[in-house]
Chain A
């Protein structure tokens, strides 16, 4: 499937969700769907998107939290699957766009291209709700479950290697403040 098409569908189906996007194409394609304040773009920190999503899901249990990351990020911090399984926030949907390569650095293959199965790793980590999809049709059908049935959900979505056409804003503090303002308006929490 194509990552941008899948991301566009996701944003249409979950317009209120808070979305944490990991380094590389996950956040580029999220930006390509149209920049919005409920997007938290991680500009570096490969591997930490699911950890950020976990902390956010714990602090905001009434909100749907979605993490978009790649196979490279997942392989850099597989411990995040373990920690998410232990805390198990039901409002977390973690989507891994898996193209079997480090696309931005020249297409070097990741281990998922040959030997490693990220869905099996998620199950092995203790995650109970794990799905693997390869077509946009499967993704669209599955999304209806992932957004309505309690998670945490881990979804491994096999994608092609189309490059992402857009870039998000680059100022981290602005991204953060805008995001926090949105969280405040949703939940009326006391953000310090």
Chain B
């Protein structure tokens, strides 16, 4: 199975019903798969911080979910995480498509890509990185479990080692 197939399966197995996303080319197959499956309620966002709000409301109503975004979207979400998810103890998974590391062609992607983990560390949000397809299921299940135990978001990075990097055009 591809990494995307495994992620899709783990979403379902872990009852992550609400899929919030801002599109990203790496995430595209996951977006398509979840939108085609009535198990999921898929929420396309205009900006990533909206997703922190939507997932907060969904959690209040008894639903679990995931925020899928490119790493730039983490930058757009910082105050939402700091002022809503953390103080109110709202758990969810953040699935983050990494830019700015191996194979990056776009100079405007470097700084946020490099800042992502220090920003999460500063917020005391745990993060893990998916580097190999055979680790995906374990890290997904583990990260989701920890998020709901800690009642705090947990981030999983999709490394370019695993998903490939964007071709320069």
Q: Kindly identify which residue among B41, B44, B87, B90 contacts A58, using a CB–CB cutoff of 8 Å.
A: B41
Q: Which of B46, B51, B62, B79 has the most CB of A within 10 A?
A: B62
CA distance A45 to B18 in the complex (A): 21
Contact B62 A79, beta carbon cutoff 8 Å: no
Contact A83 B60, beta carbon cutoff 8 Å: no
Contact B89 A183, beta carbon cutoff 8 Å: no
A176 CB–B CB distance under 8 Å: yes
B142 CB–A CB distance under 8 Å: no
Contact pattern, A 87-124, Cβ under 8 Å of B = 1, otherwise 0 = 10000000000000000000000000000000000000
Contact pattern, A 155-192, Cβ under 8 Å of B = 1, otherwise 0 = 00000000000000000110110011001100101111
A130 CB–B CB distance under 8 Å: no
A21 CB–B CB distance under 8 Å: no
A1 CB–B CB distance under 8 Å: no
CA distance A189 to B45 in the complex (A): 26
Q: Kindly identify which residue among B41, B57, B61, B88 contacts A189, using a CB–CB cutoff of 8 Å.
A: B61
Chain A neighbourhood of B99, CB < 8 A = none
Known: A42-B84, A79-B47, A175-B88. A52 touches B57 (CB 8 A): yes
Closest to B42 in A: A87
A14 CB–B CB distance under 8 Å: no
CA distance A79 to B89 in the complex (A): 24
Contact A51 B88, beta carbon cutoff 8 Å: no
CA distance A79 to B58 in the complex (A): 18
Contact B50 A48, beta carbon cutoff 8 Å: yes
Contact B83 A45, beta carbon cutoff 8 Å: yes
B64 to chain A, nearest CB (A): 7
A66 CB–B CB distance under 8 Å: no
Contact A55 B62, beta carbon cutoff 8 Å: no
Chain A neighbourhood of B163, CB < 8 A = none
Please count how many residues in chain B sit with their CB below 8 Å of the partner chain's CB atoms. Answer: 33
Closest to A171 in B: B87
Closest to B90 in A: A176
Chain B neighbourhood of A42, CB < 8 A = 84
Contact B58 A55, beta carbon cutoff 8 Å: yes
A77 CB–B CB distance under 8 Å: yes
B91 to chain A, nearest CB (A): 9
CA distance A191 to B43 in the complex (A): 20
Chain B neighbourhood of A189, CB < 8 A = 61-62
Q: Kindly identify which residue among A48, A49, A172, A175 contacts B52, using a CB–CB cutoff of 8 Å.
A: A48
Contact A191 B62, beta carbon cutoff 8 Å: yes
Contact B62 A190, beta carbon cutoff 8 Å: yes
A191 to chain B, nearest CB (A): 4
B112 CB–A CB distance under 8 Å: no
Residues of B within 8 A of A (CB): 18, 41, 43-47, 49-65, 79-80, 83-84, 87-90, 148
Contacts A44-B87, A191-B62 given; 7 further ones with Cβ under 8 A?
A: A52-B54, A55-B55, A55-B60, A55-B63, A87-B41, A189-B62, A190-B62
Q: Can you report 16 A-B residue pairs in the complex whose CB atoms are below 8 A from each other?
A: A44-B83, A44-B87, A48-B50, A51-B52, A54-B57, A55-B53, A55-B56, A58-B43, A58-B54, A80-B46, A82-B46, A175-B88, A180-B60, A183-B60, A187-B62, A189-B62
